[in-house]
Chain A
Amino acid sequence: MFKIIEKYALGPKIQYALIEAPLIAKKAKAGQFVIVRGFEKGERIPLTIADYDREKGTITLVFQEAGKSTTKLGKMKAGEYLLDMLGPQGNPTEIEKFGNVVVIGGGIGIAPVYPLARALTEAGNEVTAIIGYRAKDYVFWEDKMKSVSSRLVVATNDGSYGKKGFVTDMLKEIIESKEKIDRVFAIGPAIMMKAVSDMTREAGIKTVVSLNSIMVCGMGMCGACRVSVGGKTLFTCMDGPDFDGHAVDFPELMKRLETYKGEEKACLEKYHKECADGSI
């Protein structure tokens, strides 16, 4: 059982949770994730670790309410307990002194970009952070991101806050300015990571992406999270979640992410109905 210490909304359907998990906090590094089964009869879902405090023994999770599991998790309150949590899973992001790096976060992908940018800064890199949100209401952790980057570019799709446009528009400006970029890291929706990778491939900049495949076990025994990278089938949980963005088969990943779209929609609708009738 894992106690929820703090819990609040960061924006529309975006939830923050601080969880007591000393063993996980002790080992967690940027790029790793946990598998959460919040309650009996719930799914096992992978969530990226957005921060950790080794002394206090806590980890931070930021997640979007999408299906039933995440919606139900979103309703949990401080003081309540998550039933099961496994981690830290996956390989930590390789951090070294690359030079000038650009980290890109889209939506809730900004949360795991925070410990990544912090680690890169601590390793002596010049970190430019580009963070993109749907609109002003969705903006979170701008201050935190500012504290771990040398330069911060904030964008919203509709221009209601920061610059108007997608993260790729911001990246394009930097690439076109002929500024030297040694490495790009991108975390966010698959479509965003694909767009970033397409752009940097052309510019010849090595790009690391963190994939959000569907998972069940999170420890290499089921293969739900398999992904084609450079023509080889790999498991996101064991071989990733970080991969060379230029080698990932994004169209396949995006199709695989839709595998249970119908089932998930039906499950969520049923849950909303049950909540409305008061049967839950």
Chain B
Amino acid sequence: MAVSKEAVKMREQAPEVRKKNFNEVPLGYSEEEALKEAERCLQCKNKPCVSGCPVSIEIPAFIKAIREKDFQKAIDIIHESDALPAVTGRVCPQEEQCQVKCVVGKVGEPVSIGRLERFVADWELSKRKNELNTNSQKPASNGRKVAIVGSGPAGVSCAADLAKMGYEVTVFEGFHMLGGVLVYGIPEFRLPKTIVKTEIDSLEKLGVRFVTNVLIGRALTIEELFELGYQAIFIGTGAGLPKFMNIPGENLNGVYSANEFLTRVNLMKAYLPDEYDTPVKHGRNVAVIGGGNVAMDAARTAIRLKAEHVYLIYRRTEKEMPARIEEVHHAKEEGIEFMTLCNPVKYIGDENGFVKEAIIQKMELGEPDESGRRSPVPIPGSEFTLTVDEVIVAIGTTPNPIIARTTKGLKFKKHGEIDADENGRTSIPGVFAGGDIVTGAATVVTAMGAGRKAAKAIDEYLKTK
């Protein structure tokens, strides 16, 4: 049977509708659509797709189970490698991971692995919701305690694997809510928070204990965790410190880091001002600085907060943007105005200290830099003024220094990343690290992969101890 060159599209909210709400944009596959898409998989013996997956999901096997309409089996296969399938099915850049390796992709569109993953994950979530008494899947305890620092993607993946092996796992989170970047960073319209909660709840059923409002490095140190009887510690604190450009006017009112803007909106729910108390500025003319996924999230959030103009200001061209193509496409559909080869050099405020103008300099592309991308070079005398009443700086984040400042003997790299090997081992025996705190800002699924590797290394370490 000939395989269709075209993938089954996923239905989406129309741009004009969705830019006025915070509901999820892609609506998911129906069973019929999923079965049709699953038929496109060639079930390759050498499984190139699996090698592209940072957590090594047995992709052909779960797709085969979908074809057989055994959705439970499909989700069970995914769960063996992925603690948060409903999350990764939504936010993974599949086009550069599993799908880029898909053999079908050589002749047409690759199999929509992410959409299929989301389909079975959502099937299971809705099933779970309807079941009042889910059986506890808690494995027998081996009596050994492991502490996980941070409840983001790296931490929860590590926790899930260790819990399955029988360890008594406690996850410490500084915020009042679990999920890390999944709850403070990624907007509701890309990743509904109820999904994050349901996925994390299922870890509690595995026996993982979660402690919120405790920041390791302040309330307790790494050293004290050992004193409390934890035999190994995994640090997955992410890259949480926002970068600024250090240009004049950046501390004016109305200039946000993307982290602050998104935390106010996502975690504190400032988009529902009738119910929630945390305020956020609703700018009319908003400039978002940057070209990554976070910049797209911020821009698309600003348009949903009823901005008249949202300018996405990026110093290179669209080709060099690190954001997923899908996100760029969504942003454009929603009316985000792209200003590429542009860079702010200064912000000007009114008499009360609120930003009113951005001075933007035009750029051109020069020689490639260390990232391999052509570097932006300012064009002298090209400055122009843009009227703005809100600026969101989304030019990246660096590791949070709190663990570094409070942990003796832990080695760090140049930009504050923890120095850890590929299995997460750090300079302190029994202390492991993974995710953005080791690599610098990357994706949800790479962090999850690092968490899994560290779980394996922790198990090996404790078995030989």
Contacts and interface: CB of A to CB of B under 8 A. Distances in A.
Interface stretch (B17-25, B196-204, B244-252): B244-252
A223 B269 contact: no
Chain B contact residues, majority secondary structure? loop
B378 interface: no
Given A219-B400, A258-B352, A258-B353, A233 B244 contact: yes
Nearest to A83: B176
A212 interface: no
* Most A CB within 10 A of own CB, among B175, B212, B213: B213
Nearest to B393: A223
Contact of A86 (B215, B246, B250, B259): B215
Contacts of B292: none
Interface stretch (A38-46, A158-166, A171-179): A38-46
Contacts of B268: 43-44, 216
B220 interface: yes
Chain A contact residues, majority secondary structure? mixed
Given A83-B176, A221-B263, A224-B260, A258 B278 contact: no
Given A41-B269, A233-B251, A219 B215 contact: yes
Nearest to A224: B260
Interface stretch (A116-124, A137-145, A189-197, A259-267): A259-267
Contacts of A84: 176, 212-213
Given A41-B269, A264-B279, A223 B213 contact: no
Nearest to B274: A270
A24 B242 contact: no
A69 B277 CA distance: 8
Contacts of B263: 216-217, 221-222
A37 B174 CA distance: 13
Given A23-B214, A267-B277, A238 B402 contact: yes
Contact of B174 (A43, A219, A228, A267): A219
Nearest to B219: A23
B346 interface: no
B279 A223 contact: no
B218 interface: yes
Given A89-B218, A238-B401, A259-B253, A221 B241 contact: yes
A86 B214 CA distance: 6
A260 B81 CA distance: 45
A89 B400 CA distance: 14
Interface string B226-270: 000000000000001110101000110110110110011000110
A136 interface: no
A27 interface: yes
A87 B218 contact: yes
B370 interface: no
Contacts of B214: 23, 86
Contacts of B401: 220, 238
Contacts of A89: 215, 218
Interface of A: 23-24, 27, 37, 41-44, 68-69, 83-89, 216-217, 219-224, 226-228, 233, 238, 252, 255-256, 258-260, 263-264, 267
24 contacts: A23-B214, A23-B219, A41-B275, A44-B268, A83-B176, A84-B176, A86-B176, A216-B260, A216-B278, A217-B263, A221-B240, A221-B263, A221-B400, A223-B242, A223-B257, A223-B260, A226-B244, A233-B246, A255-B352, A255-B353, A256-B253, A258-B253, A259-B281, A263-B279
